[in-house]
Chain A
Amino acid sequence: MTRGRLATPLLVAPALAFLAVVLFYPLARTVEQSFTDPTTGLENYRHLFASGVYVRVLLTTLLVSGLVTGICLLLGYPLAYTAATRGGGVRALVLAAVMIPFWTSLLVRTYAWQVILGREGPIASLLDAVGVAAPQLLYNRIGAVVGMVYVMLPFMVLSLYAVMRDVDPSLLRAARSLGAPAGRAFRHVYLPQTLPGVTGGVLLVFVISIGFYVTPALLGGRKEVFIAELIQMNVTETVQWGFASALGVVLLLVTLALLAAYDRLLGAESMFAAGRREGRA
């Protein structure tokens, strides 16, 4: 007992020290700077909310992130379901298809999409060949959404898969034998079991999306500016550190508000590999 009581703080001390240096201190400085640079007070925040541009960028960020999250869920659920319910070969194939891009450099993948979606790219060529005028796919919302969905899909699939893997496969069989057609068995029995994975995946994808920089910057062009791009611009181009800090703080607060809402609804614990305890009867 005595040793255990002493050992626990000793064991977490290095991690706490690390976080203190690389997270808590810079965070505190950022918050401080947003109120003090260039002048002490709420000037940065007043400017932020007074100008329609910044609010619009924030709304665009939230909207596009929501769109990306929705599409990831629609694409990811069947993928995760297939991986969780099918046998070895199919499962390995689906998981590999999801994971291999995950291990590839984000920048490389984003440039690849520039080629695919570009004016000379395969999609445009194909549409040309069948005599359809290719729409603009790059440097607008389509490009940003396609690229972000591609990057975010693994997060969604893995969140769902972790939960689905633990759903007793005989639950669906039981529902069928008890008189439920396939659709109702899925809706009444399987879907409720996987909801923790759905909410976990949705939250993860959405939170990462609203802070996204590289992909919307390269594929969304000037029309789909994300808040992270504004922060970057204020740091490197206009050198307004205080204002950039204020933007960062607002982004952080939005994220925290979402997490709080999630915790209210479902409990923070259920966020990762959720429902595991409940999944087994």
Chain B
Amino acid sequence: MPGRPDYLALRELTKTFAHRHGTHHAVDGVSLEVAEGEFVSLLGPSGSGKTTTLMMIAGFVAPSAGAIVVDDRSIADVPPHRRNIGVVFQSYALFPKMTVAANVGFPLRMRGVSRARVKEQVTRLLTLVGLEAYADRRPAQLSGGQQQRVALARALVFDPGLLLLDEPMSALDRKLREQLQLEVRRIQRTLNVTTLYVTHDQDEAMLLSDRVAIMDGGRVQQLGTPREVYTAPANRFVAQFLGETNVVPATVVAGDAGSPRATVAGGLVGFAARRATRAGERVELFVRPEQVTLAAAGERALAGRVAQALYLGDTTRYRVRLGDGTLVTAAVANRSDAPRFAAEQQVSLDWEAASARVLD
């Protein structure tokens, strides 16, 4: 069911901290709209402002400027306990002295819900997260993954208008994380709760999200579906932060035309520009390793020599040195019919014009 597109709206949200050497913009004019029922991740390195943004929405950090609007209502003056927002913390923040059931029932008890109804709702949520058998345990008696699920159940039991998660998986090991990611996604879809998820793990953000907001320096660098931000990064930061990318120096030969071309180490290749370029301009082309096609010498536009061949099981990563010394990484899927190259072997390579980008 498609909800309203601006269920949660951040408008020019800003948080500045004063310190000895001036002011620091932790969050610097973030504007963002999240649709009802949508799952959006804030993805960025540490210090990019993503957690501060989340804490402002939850009401624990007062914004310096800007507005937070939920369902057409500004929540600037609403205290945290009346915002009706479920929050899952990095440390889970389960109440150690209470049982699992008491933890999950806490928000309902605070709302004066009847005992019978609390019990019913707690059972419903614990069943949803698969922990109905653990109702009488204490948090300390649970594994990290189980604690995480209790925290999720507790944040959802009161049917919050919004669910916020602050790096909830960062303390878990990789296997468990993957399993829980799928579960979080299933639960979020089941309840159709509008969700904002803070993470620095790009695989996690891609897997979970309808859209991803890439953050750096307190600003949203790009907002888009996982495919959009990966294949069409808006700027250098996004291109280099997400996955791996080759940065290839090139000289534009033909600029504005429908299919711009450039020379790289003496060879001619196509590229796609987000902005107008002119002939003779020095640019950098951003190319993902899996977009590079590697072939025997002379077959493709650019000539090079294999500097290193790394076998990784599903792919082989070739580091190829071009004539001008530029290193280009090519990731080749290890299909049985894929050509193989050895170190020091002469090869050639190129890419689809659309996959090489000139970025600001």
**Using a CB–CB distance below 8 Å, which chain A residues touch chain B?**
168, 170-171, 173-182, 184-185, 188-189, 192-193, 278-281
Contacts and interface: CB of A to CB of B under 8 A. Distances in A.
B107 A193 contact: no
B158 A178 contact: yes
A193 B97 contact: yes
Given A173-B60, A173-B89, 13 more contacts: A168-B91, A171-B93, A171-B95, A174-B89, A177-B58, A179-B82, A179-B158, A192-B97, A278-B96, A279-B96, A281-B92, A281-B94, A281-B96
A187 to B, nearest CB: 11
B63 interface: no
Contacts of A173: 58, 60, 80, 87, 89, 93
Given A177-B58, A177-B81, A180-B110, A170 B96 contact: no
Contacts of B305: none
A188 B111 CA distance: 14
Contacts of A175: 95, 106
Contacts of A170: 89-91, 93
Contact of B95 (A176, A182, A189): A189
A3 B80 CA distance: 59
14 contacts: A168-B91, A171-B93, A173-B93, A177-B85, A177-B86, A177-B87, A178-B154, A179-B81, A179-B84, A179-B107, A184-B110, A189-B95, A280-B96, A281-B91
B111 to A, nearest CB: 6
Contacts of B147: 281
Interface of B: 58-60, 79-87, 89-97, 106-107, 110-111, 139-140, 147, 154-155, 158
Contact of A193 (B60, B90, B96): B96
B93 A168 contact: yes
A278 B90 CA distance: 18
Nearest to B83: A177
Contact of A278 (B58, B59, B89, B140): B140
B93 A174 contact: yes
B58 A178 contact: no
B59 A176 contact: yes
B261 to A, nearest CB: 55
Q: Which of A174, A178, A180, A184 has the most CB of B within 10 A?
A: A178
B81 A176 contact: yes
Contacts of A279: 96
Contacts of B95: 171, 174-175, 188-189, 281
A174 B94 CA distance: 8
B126 to A, nearest CB: 16
A170 B164 CA distance: 14
A189 B90 CA distance: 18
A62 B84 CA distance: 50
Contact of A180 (B81, B83, B87, B97): B81
A278 B140 CA distance: 8
A32 B79 CA distance: 66
A164 B179 CA distance: 35
A178 B86 CA distance: 7
Contacts of A180: 81, 106, 110
Nearest to A275: B96
B150 to A, nearest CB: 10
B164 to A, nearest CB: 8
A75 B82 CA distance: 31
Contacts of B139: 281
Contact of B106 (A178, A193, A278): A178
Contacts of B85: 177
A179 B97 CA distance: 18
Contacts of B155: 177-178
A234 to B, nearest CB: 48
Contacts of A178: 81, 86, 106-107, 110, 154-155, 158
A182 B60 CA distance: 12
A181 B96 CA distance: 19
Nearest 6 Cβ contacts at the A-B interface: A174-B93, A178-B107, A179-B110, A170-B93, A176-B80, A177-B87
A280 to B, nearest CB: 8
B101 to A, nearest CB: 14
A280 B300 CA distance: 60
A181 B93 contact: no
A43 B81 CA distance: 66
A274 to B, nearest CB: 13
A280 B138 CA distance: 12
A280 B139 CA distance: 10
A37 B84 CA distance: 74
Contacts of A281: 91-96, 139-140, 147
A184 B79 CA distance: 14
B122 to A, nearest CB: 13
Contacts of A179: 81-82, 84, 107, 110-111, 158
Nearest to A180: B110
Contacts of A181: 79, 81
A278 B95 CA distance: 10
Contacts of A171: 93, 95
Nearest to A184: B110
A185 B59 CA distance: 15
A150 B58 CA distance: 41
A188 B105 CA distance: 13
Contacts of B107: 178-179
Nearest to A179: B110
Nearest to A171: B93
A280 B94 CA distance: 9
B108 to A, nearest CB: 8
Contacts of B81: 176-182, 185
B87 A174 contact: yes
Contacts of B90: 170
